[in-house]
Amino acid sequence: MRSLTLAEARERAALLTVTSYAVELDLDQGAEVFGSHTTVRFACSTPGADSWVDLKARTVETVSLNGVDLDPADVVDGRLPLTGLEADNELVVAATMAYSHDGQGLHRATDPADQRDYVYGHLFLDAAPSVYACFDQPDLKAPYDVVVRAPLEWTVIGNGAATRTAPGTWRLATTKPLATYFVTVCAGPYVSVHDEHDGIPLGLHARASLREPLERHAAEIFDVTKRSFDYFHGLFGIRYPFGEYHQVFVPEFNAGAMENPGCVTFRDQYLYRGSATRDELLTRANTVSHEMSHMWFGDLVTMKWWDDLWLNESFAEYMSHRCLVDATEYADAWVDSSIVRKVWGYGAERSPSTHPVAGVEALDAQSALQNFDGISYAKGAAALRQLIAHVGDDQFIAGVRAYLTDKSYANGTLADFLGAIESASGTDLAAWSRAWLLTADRDTLSVRLEEQGGVIDSAVAVRETPADRPADRPHTFDVAGWTDGLEVARVTTTVTAPETRLDGLQGAPEPAVVVPNASDLTWARVRLSDRTLTALPSQLALVPDQQARAVVWSALIDGVHGATVSPDAFLDVVEAAWPHETNSSILTRVSAYSEHRIVPYFVPRPGQATALARLAASGRALLDTAPSGSTESLAAARLVAGASDDEALLRAWADGDSLPDGLQDDGDFRWIVVRNLAARGLIDVAGVESYRAKDDTLQGGLNALMCRASLPDPVAKGWAWEQLTGRHGRSNYEMVHLARGFWSAPDDALVADYVPRYFTDVPAMAEWVGEDALSRVVLVAFPKVFTEQTADLSARTLERDDLTPAVRRSLVDADAELREALASRATFGAAV
């Protein structure tokens, strides 16, 4: 299908004004298709002009424009031409649409736990025309009236309050003006929990088989929801404008969540079936608050075109963390951001695909999707924190309020937002915006100390800017130092030059550990001194500042990726400091990153068994001392379950024997153990299926696929590859789980033959897999055979001119990670 270009969008927006949509969906036509009837009313500024409507149907039954029948065969490449438009127009389209299984459009999934079907709409970025006929661009907003026909036992939830008007028929209340990609309908035998807050009806919904975790977690989710409403009402000075507020946990969701007004959809893994660590609850709370902040940033005021995507995501990223810190128990949310979100964003910044936060003119919609990454989220949020440091928080909030008020129910741009902040603060932001928002890449911050007799004689903050992307970014941040757990120095500075004296450190004792950007206030590569790196194994666990510890871990991860810190040195710090970590986000994320990224990517295969044994020993050390049922105990048990080679222990845990407290009925934990057994060849297909029989659910089936793909057997690998790349109607989640297991192997020889096949078979899947889903498959399925031959194949593939935008972007990022691994192995391989 053609992707809408910016030029086309501007031309159509100048010509048309959409006044209303009336959409009728018939979801009672079986498991493959549904009926779609759309009436759209719109004005045309130039009567007699021509345009088109977007429509991606299985079949088109009838079309009429202003009472005149059009030929359904005129729909070509997802577009229906509209000629001779009048000043006021009515278009009526009756079509049959196909359900999707890749998480885009109207997705339909079957829950194997009870064989019930569930439907939800995910229309981002350009999937709306696969559900109803529309003018699919973010600046043609209109109110919606939606009627849904569904099986009698189904419940229907959507953007407007749902009323059952007859058996199997539901009418949704008329919405405020919405962009096309925000429209959603969720339908199926969902179970629900209801509440109310400040006059706003609240609902939580999930598959029937998830009733127990939904009800168990409802109080916590509602509490965060209510606190977020109160916080944002007070902060923005505008009440939530979209009526009821429903949060629907849906199966096989491509993203974390989607901010559909009045009906937010979430991946249903957030309803933790078993034990959950504190940071997992924090992550869910952050997502709840993030999506709610979108009701103002994105929904009330929508970007005019996709190149201002950051106006949605950077703000939601910043506002959700701010809300959690100020209004909930999760006061350490910025620590979580440092070790989760910013690590993700720094990875995007290291890739050749890096881009500015804003101002990248996306020439078409699909190109814009490629910038939907950790830069738009984490870097944008960090830039906003620096903007606040630059203009003041009161002035920032005043500008935000003015922007939201002025652009309510309409569209905004970067220029609109900056203009509002400039007016509120009296500050010219042209230079600031050019440096922080319009220039890609990041600076490197370090501290140069000179000492005499153990006392700091001089201290200088050093700012290095990328030579190929120069920018004059002001950074406001702090530098702190510790020795044996005692903070001996801290100073806050604003850096506006390559070198800035830190006179506040002069005369202080020289610290064992010095951390630039200790409170993680800015966005930069943090370079730790050699003295600090040497001291970390003995000193890091003693540092009482959890935010500074997160910055150190992030710097270490960055250093491994940049081949300036060896994986062996990283594991030294893990062994020494990780078992003593008290922050849940640092604890769980460092262990997971060590097991799933540091070891398989940066440690050559011959050394991986020893590296995993080191991790397992660290996990065992913490497990032996952690309080029963605590986050520490759960994190430690997960690390042991995934990294240990103790067959007797693994078999006992898989069978439910001698489990740590709190994990006796935890099916998700058991799958960690089973995957380890499978990857080591200690069980076979029948063994995997026997565990699936104990957990015959959607998640159980996905984990079983991953475990079968992990089996170190040529037959198992052949089956997994064919299931992944063949046309079997596999869902987006099934493909990703097959890919996650596939490259697990005791040596490269077992999977080497599939390396060249990846570069032909996976890009070809664009013929039947949506761009959003395929972009994830491309990344996860990229060969974990780190050789120059793989790099050569990857380079040649990137020279092709037939790759879709999503495939190309994911290949660029995966190729960058491959080259990071090769550089690290070349530098440190002999030492591991």
pLDDT tens-digit series, residues 801-823: 999 988 999 999 999 999 999 99
The answer to whether the beta carbons of residues 496 and 461 sit under 8 Å apart is: no
SS3 at position 598: helix
* Within a domain: 687: yes
Count Cα neighbours of 436 within 13 Å in the Cβ-side half-sphere: 29
One domain, residues 516 and 465: yes
One domain, residues 411 and 361: yes
* Within a domain: 821: yes
For residue 1, the model assigns a pLDDT of 67
Count CB atoms within 10 A of the CB of residue 748: 17
Closest CA to 341 of 369, 367, 316: 316
Does 451 participate in catalysis according to the annotation?
Answer: no
- Residue 752 and residue 72: Cα distance in Å, rounded? 49
Domains of the chain: total = 3
One domain, residues 689 and 820: yes
Of 495, 512, 547, which one is at a domain's C-terminal end? 547
Of 484, 512, 547, which one is at a domain's C-terminal end? 547
Mean pLDDT of 106-128: 96
Structure token digits, residue 768:
């039947």
Report the relative pairing of strands 144-149 and 16-26 from DSSP bridges: parallel
Residue with tokens 């959890």: 546
Please report, as a single letter, which amino acid is at residue 340.
V
pLDDT band at 361 (very low <50, low <70, confident <90, very high): confident
Domain that holds residue 471: 443-522+527-547
* Within a domain: 213: no
Count Cα neighbours of 745 within 13 Å in the Cβ-side half-sphere: 20
Average pLDDT over the chain reads 96
DSSP string, 719-769: HHHHHHHS-S---HHHHHHHHHHHT--SSGGGTTTHHHHHHHHTGGGGGTS
CA angle (277, 279, 282) in 5-degree steps: 120
CA angle (35, 38, 44) in 5-degree steps: 155
For residue 365, the model assigns a pLDDT of 80
Count CB atoms within 10 A of the CB of residue 509: 15
Farthest CA pair distance, the chain = 91
One domain, residues 447 and 426: no
For residue 832, the model assigns a pLDDT of 45
Q: Using a CB cutoff of 8 Å and minimum separation of 24, what contacts does 269-272 make?
A: 269/699, 271/206, 271/210, 271/213, 271/214, 271/217, 272/213, 272/217, 272/668
Coarse DSSP helix, strand, coil percentages of the chain, rounded to the nearest 5 percent? 45, 20, 30
Catalytic option among 24, 291, 734, 820: 291
One domain, residues 585 and 485: no
Closest CA to 185 of 26, 20, 19: 26
- 3-state DSSP of 103-135: CCEEEEEEECCCCEEEEEEECCCCCHHHCCCEC
- Residue 176 and residue 198: Cα distance in Å, rounded? 20
Mean pLDDT of 515-527: 98
- The torsion of the CA quartet 552, 553, 558, 559, rounded to 10 degrees, works out to 70
Mean pLDDT of 376-405: 97
* Within a domain: 755: yes
For residue 770, the model assigns a pLDDT of 87
Mean pLDDT of 126-145: 97
**H helix or E strand, kind and range, residue 324:** helix 310-327
Mean pLDDT of 777-793: 97
Orientation angle between helical segments 698-710 and 732-742, nearest 10 degrees? 30
pLDDT above 60 for 404: yes
Give the distance from CA 745 to its chain's centroid.
28
Mean pLDDT of 214-228: 98
- Residue 600 and residue 817: Cα distance in Å, rounded? 12
- Residue 804 and residue 2: Cα distance in Å, rounded? 11
One domain, residues 682 and 819: yes
* Within a domain: 682: yes
Sheet with 144-149: list strands edge to edge. 68-70, 59-65, 88-98, 33-44, 16-26, 144-149, 169-172, 162-166
* Within a domain: 69: no
Phi and psi, residue 658, nearest 5°: 55, 30
What CATH number is given to the structural domain containing 343?
A: 1.10.390.10
* Within a domain: 656: yes
pLDDT tens-digit series, residues 678-698: 999 999 999 999 999 999 999
pLDDT above 80 for 320: yes
Omega before residue 125 within 30° of 0, cis:
yes
pLDDT above 90 for 771: no
pLDDT band at 363 (very low <50, low <70, confident <90, very high): confident
Residue with tokens 């299985």: 58
Of 436, 464, 481, which one is at a domain's C-terminal end? 436
Q: What is the pTM of this model?
A: 0.96
Burial (0-12, 13-18, 19+ Cβ within 10 Å), 138: buried
One domain, residues 374 and 455: no
Percent of the chain with pLDDT over 90: 94
pLDDT above 90 for 362: no
The answer to whether the beta carbons of residues 56 and 21 sit under 8 Å apart is: no
Report how many helices (DSSP H) and strands (DSSP E) the chain contains, helices first.
Answer: 28, 28
- Residue 459 and residue 506: Cα distance in Å, rounded? 7
Please report, as a single letter, which amino acid is at residue 337.
S
* Buried b or exposed e, range 316-334, using 16+ CB within 10 angstroms: bbbbbbbbbeebbebebbb
One domain, residues 468 and 425: no
The answer to whether the beta carbons of residues 125 and 369 sit under 8 Å apart is: yes
DSSP string, 274-294: S---HHHHHHHHHHHHHHHHT
SS3 at position 544: coil
pLDDT above 70 for 830: no
Structure token digits, residue 211:
């009733």
For residue 665, the model assigns a pLDDT of 86
What CATH number is given to the structural domain containing 651?
A: 1.25.50.20
One domain, residues 757 and 681: yes
pLDDT tens-digit series, residues 413-460: 999 999 999 999 999 999 999 999 999 999 999 999 999 999 999 999
Structure token digits, residue 473:
């970014």
For residue 80, the model assigns a pLDDT of 98
* Within a domain: 87: no
One domain, residues 541 and 395: no
Cross-strand partners of 20? 41
The answer to whether the beta carbons of residues 692 and 700 sit under 8 Å apart is: yes
pLDDT band at 368 (very low <50, low <70, confident <90, very high): confident
One domain, residues 455 and 356: no
SS3 at position 265: strand
E-strand ranges in 323-442 read: 410-412
- Residue 312 and residue 377: Cα distance in Å, rounded? 9
SS3 at position 623: helix
One domain, residues 455 and 416: no
